[in-house]
Amino acid sequence: MMSGKVWLVGAGPGDISLITVKGLDCIKNADVLVYDRLVNHELLNYAPAHCEKVNVGKESDHHPIPQIQINQILVEYAKQGKNVVRLKSGDPYVFGRGGEEAQEIVEQGVVFEVVPGVTSAIGGLTYAGIPVTHRDYASSFHVVTGHLRADKAKDPINWQALAQLEGTIVILMGVSNLEHISNELIRYGKAATTPVAIVMWASRNNQRVVTGTLQNIVQVAKEQQVKPPALIVVGEVVRLHKLLDFTQLLAETTA
C-alpha cells in the first residue's frame, strides 16, 4: 500500500488568519488532523468532511496524551496511507517538541514536510504593540522557556548571561516561574525598573496585556490574575505597547 505523509504545520499564535497559505492547504487536504490545545480550534472547520480529528491537547504540567503516543499516532496513520497534518501552535519548531516528533517520523521511515508558522514569541508581541526589536531599544532578542523540565533539577537557562544583554527577553511557559525569573534577572544586574509585559492569549479576541517592572511584576500578575498561556516580555521595547497596540486602537474605533 502507498505510504502516506506527515505535515508538521504551524498554526500561528491564535488569530486563524495568521496561518500560512501552505498550512491552510495542508488542512484542506488532511485525512487526519492531530492538534494541540493552543491551536485555534476554528481552523478545524477547514478540514474536509471525512477528516478524522484527534485532540492531543496538553496542559502545562500534565499530559493527557504522552508524547510517545502522539508520535505513534502520527506514524501509524501515515503508514495506513493517510495524509496526516500535525497542527501545532505558533511555529512547529519553537518549543512544543516539534523537533522530537520530526525525528521520530523520520526514524520510522515516514515521509514528512514542515510548514513554518508565525511564532507567538514574535507575532504574539506584535499583537500587543511590542516590536521585538527597535533601533532605539533593542538590537537583539532572546527567546527562552521558563518551564523547568521535571527530569532536570538544574535551571537550564543562564539568567546571568541574559541579564547582561540589552536585547528583548521573551519567555514562553514562564507564568508559574515568574517570581524565580524576575528575581534571577535582578540578582544578576538587570535594572529593577526594566519594563515587563505579560501577554495572555496573544492575537485571540480574549487577548489581555498587563505591564509592570521587574520589581513589581509578580505583584501585578497576582492582582491582575495572570494565567497561561502567556508571553513574558522583558525590555525597553515594552514602552511602545500603549502607543502601538493596534488591537486596542481597533477596538476603540469600532466601539
The residue ranges that bind ligand SAH (CB under 6 A) are 13-14, 38, 88-91, 94-96, 119-121, 124, 172-173, 199-204, 228-231
Nearer to ligand SAH among residue 192 and residue 250 (C-beta): 250
Q: Which three cell numbers stand for residue 14?
A: 491564535
Q: Which three cell numbers stand for residue 73?
A: 499516532
Nearer to ligand SAH among residue 31 and residue 89 (C-beta): 89
The residue behind cell 480529528 is 53
Decide if 22 contacts 115 (C-beta within 8 A).
yes
| Active-site annotation holds for 173 | yes
Give the shortest CB-12-to-ligand SAH separation in angstroms: 8
Nearer to ligand SAH among residue 61 and residue 136 (C-beta): 61
Nearer to ligand SAH among residue 4 and residue 35 (C-beta): 35
Can you name the residues that pair with 213 across neighbouring β-strands?
195
Catalytic entry in 5, 25, 53, 58: 58
Catalytic entry in 5, 36, 53, 155: 36
Give the shortest CB-91-to-ligand SAH separation in angstroms: 4
| Active-site annotation holds for 36 | yes
Nearer to ligand SAH among residue 52 and residue 227 (C-beta): 227
Give the shortest CB-9-to-ligand SAH separation in angstroms: 11
Give the shortest CB-16-to-ligand SAH separation in angstroms: 12
Give the shortest CB-1-to-ligand SAH separation in angstroms: 33
| Active-site annotation holds for 154 | no
Taking CB atoms, the residue at the shortest distance from ligand SAH is 90
Catalytic entry in 31, 173, 190, 245: 173
How far is the C-alpha of 21 from the C-alpha of 117, rounded, in Å? 10
Residues known to be catalytic: 36, 58, 173
